[in-house]
Amino acid sequence: MAGFLLRRTASRGVLVLLAGSLAYLLAAAALDPRAGFAGRAPRPPDAVVDARLSALNLNDRTPLADRYRTWARGVLRGDLGRTQEGESVNAELWRRVGVSLRSLVPGAVLGSALGVLLGALAAARRGRVADRVISIGSYLVLAVPVFVLAVLSQTIAVRVNGALGVRVFVWVGESAPGEPGPLGGVVDRARHLLLPAAVIGLAQAALYSRYQRGLTLDVLHADFVRTARAKGLRRRSALLRHGLRTALIPMATYFAYASGLLVLGGVFVEKAFGRHGVGEWLVESIARGDVNAVAAIGCVAACAVLLAGLVSDVLTGVLDPRVRSGAGR
């Protein structure tokens, strides 16, 4: 299994390098860093603008190949460059990544686990009330864009707060200043995190439940499940002990591909809930034409997909004995 993981990680590492390079080249070719200077009053002289952009490796009059080489050499040293304001991209990036992870990871983990359970339940109760309720609910959630779900959740939270007379749900930012004591700070962060994580988790659960239902139905009448039932196991026990594990193998592979949708959904959720994470920074950087910031976010997104792929490979190895034995090469 170690050899399998090393091969997959190496191949994905090459893809990350290509994706990061492509992110920089597209950002440098499409964005206009001069737009931020054009709106200033008084407008700086062209020579001043050129000198400032050249110092930040953002001058669009410098050949793209030269700018790319400068950027790539910095990345190899661990330096992602500087923003248009002259601040370190590294420092701002990791601060924003921490904010994003606090909302994305809980929602993704809970949503994925809930989606798998609901999908398996819907398959086991095929044609019954539980199956219909889960299927209709997942279809409705998938039909609604993530940013609409975020707005709807805020509307419901306002009504709940008004009915209870207490601010149970708070969603703007991460926490309120001046919260007394360490426990108070933890509770306040949890209140701010509840709605964003719920929206992300709901979207993930709807997506995974539809896929898991189809996979579980495929193995529901497989030979090994029928054999287990013939040996005396009840239908539920045979499905849980033999069928569900087999159905989870392709789901583990799907996890890597769904990570891109998770990152995209996080952009809209952060804007809707006023969380100053990577998604909000990406939108602002594109509007300003900040090439280095956009390229850095592209690199982080590529690494996130690589990490998701590695987790997917580990889960596949745990669930599939052919991978552990080397037969699944």
User: Phi and psi at residue 145, in whole multiples of 5°?
Assistant: -60, 155
Residue 222 lies in a domain: yes
CA distances from 29 to 39, 51, 286, 289 (A): 21, 19, 12, 10
Residue 31 lies in a domain: no
* Nearest of 160, 150, 262 to residue 207 by alpha carbon: 262
Residue 144 lies in a domain: yes
Contact 247, 219 (CB under 8 A): yes
Residue 234 lies in a domain: yes
CA distances from 121 to 135, 141, 152, 232, 253 (A): 11, 18, 27, 21, 21
The full DSSP string for 13-68 is: HHHHHHHHHHHHHHHHHH--TTHHHHTSSSPPPHHHHHHHHHHTT--TTS-HHHHH
Report the chain's mean pLDDT, rounded to a whole number. 81
CA dihedral 16, 20, 23, 25 (to 10 degrees): -130
What pLDDT does residue 67 have? 92
Residue 55 lies in a domain: no
The number of folded domains in the chain is: 1
Owning domain of residue 217? 92-325
Residue 19 lies in a domain: no
Per-residue pLDDT tens over the stretch 46-88? 788 888 888 888 888 889 999 999 999 998 888 888 888 888 8
Q: Please tell me the distance from the alpha carbon of residue 219 to that of residue 223, in angstroms, as a whole number.
A: 8
Confidence of residue 192 (pLDDT cuts 50, 70, 90): confident
Per-residue pLDDT tens over the stretch 121-148? 888 788 889 889 999 999 999 888 888 8
Residue 195 lies in a domain: yes
Confidence of residue 114 (pLDDT cuts 50, 70, 90): very high
What pLDDT does residue 185 have? 64
Per-residue pLDDT tens over the stretch 276-325? 888 888 888 888 888 999 999 988 888 888 888 788 777 777 776 666 56
Contact 275, 103 (CB under 8 A): yes
Residue 27 lies in a domain: no
In this model, does residue 240 exceed pLDDT 50? yes
Q: Is the peptide bond before 182 cis (omega within 30 degrees of 0)?
A: no
CA distances from 59 to 37, 45, 69, 108, 292 (A): 12, 14, 14, 39, 11
Mutual angle of helices 244-273 and 181-220, in 10-degree steps: 140
Structure pTM? 0.77
Contact 275, 196 (CB under 8 A): yes
Write the CATH number for 110.
1.10.3720.10
